[in-house]
Chains A and B, each alone.
Chain A
Amino acid sequence: MIRIAAVGDVHVDKDVVGRYRPALEELPDRADALLVAGDLTRHGTVEEARCFAEEFGGLSVPVVVVLGNHDHQSDLQDDVTSVLTDTGITVLECSATVLEINGHRLGIAGAKGFGGGFAGACASNFGEREMKDFVGHTEEIAGRLGEALRSVEADALVALTHYAPIPETLAGEPLEIYAFLGCYQLGQAIDTAPTSLALHGHAHHGSERGRTPGGVPVRNVAHPVIKQAYNVYQLLSESVDADLVSV
């Protein structure tokens, strides 16, 4: 059995330091790893990254994150990544890692993702250079996420993105902005591998649960959606047990 804690869109800055810590200190009793689905900061500054590292680092469980669009706002994503990795946090961008947990191999492949939309209302790689750049970025990230997922040999495989891979977990958001919240190509990439669970954030007014066309469970763990410090998901269960977490 593996238990994964997950949250996204925590947008840490000075005013948030200390808010999550009491719940995070309980993590070793509740989960084997913590995954954060992007938008770690407000503006993607080095100072905010240090605040995130202070709040979410130094835990006794591994912490694996992807960046979100907010973490790119200051064009300092490489510096933000360095601050996080220096404090022991694993940052994935079209890459994967494997954690050894309870005798099992937990594979995690992650990417920020991008927009583009979903069946019936998606952007095409056509027309102006700006439009082709937009959709080209979507296609490149999704393709590389698929490669990262397929590169992992694991007992359980998790896809971690900021943008959404399916429209079902966007329900509650205005339809008009779905194309800025995710893209179907991420769902396609997730379905090319034996993915156990896909986690994303970004859609603050979205819904929690859905599945890819290939049947992979998808969870929107944006903080305003789950309304607690993190959710806990159990994989590789020996028996069905959805009771309260024993602490």
Chain B
Amino acid sequence: MTSQIDLEAEIQRLLTEHDRIAEQGITVHRRENAVVLGGEVESAQRRDEICRQITARYPEIEITCDIGITRAQAPSEVEEIS
């Protein structure tokens, strides 16, 4: 039986090694009956694919998705390096 810690590790590896995901910056935390996902990705499709693949592999687990989409607006300030 997969322990809680092993489950988090297995999900982390799924997110990195699955050829439709390849994300290394997603956090995975177990909260009672749910797994909470955090971090940011580059598109809504990638966020949705992460939840789809975890649900397909672990259908008994409830997924709470707090993954955001990284903003891509131009900056308004410059930093002087000295």
- Which residues of A are at the interface with B, using a C-beta cutoff of 8 A? 3, 9-12, 15-16, 19-20, 22-23, 26, 30, 42-43, 70, 73, 196-197, 204-205, 217, 223-224, 227-235, 237, 240-245
Contacts and interface: CB of A to CB of B under 8 A. Distances in A.
B70 A245 contact: no
Contacts of A241: 80
Given A223-B42, A232-B77, 8 more contacts: A19-B72, A20-B72, A204-B24, A223-B40, A229-B75, A233-B80, A234-B81, A240-B80
Report, nearest first, the 3 A-B pairs whose CB atoms are least far apart: A204-B25, A23-B74, A232-B78
A240 B46 CA distance: 42
B27 A232 contact: no
Interface string B7-43: 0000000000001001011010000000000011011
A144 B80 CA distance: 29
A118 to B, nearest CB: 19
B22 A23 contact: no
Interface residues of B, number: 24
A223 B77 contact: no
Interface of B: 19, 22, 24-25, 27, 39-40, 42-43, 45-46, 70-82
Given A30-B74, A42-B22, A232 B43 contact: no
A contact patch SS = loop
Contacts of B72: 19-20, 23, 223, 228-229
B40 to A, nearest CB: 4
Contacts of B70: 223-224, 227
Contact of B81 (A196, A227, A245): A196
Contacts, number: 93
Given A22-B74, A229-B73, A11 B81 contact: no
Contacts of B79: 231-234, 242
B66 to A, nearest CB: 13
A231 B74 CA distance: 8
B43 A231 contact: no
A30 B79 CA distance: 12
A15 B81 contact: no
A196 to B, nearest CB: 7
A235 B81 contact: yes
Contact of B27 (A205, A217, A223, A229): A205
Contact of A227 (B43, B71, B74): B71
B45 A15 contact: yes
Contacts of A16: 42-43
A237 B80 CA distance: 7
B60 to A, nearest CB: 27
Contacts of B74: 22-23, 26, 30, 228-230
Contacts of A19: 42-43, 72
A30 B81 contact: no
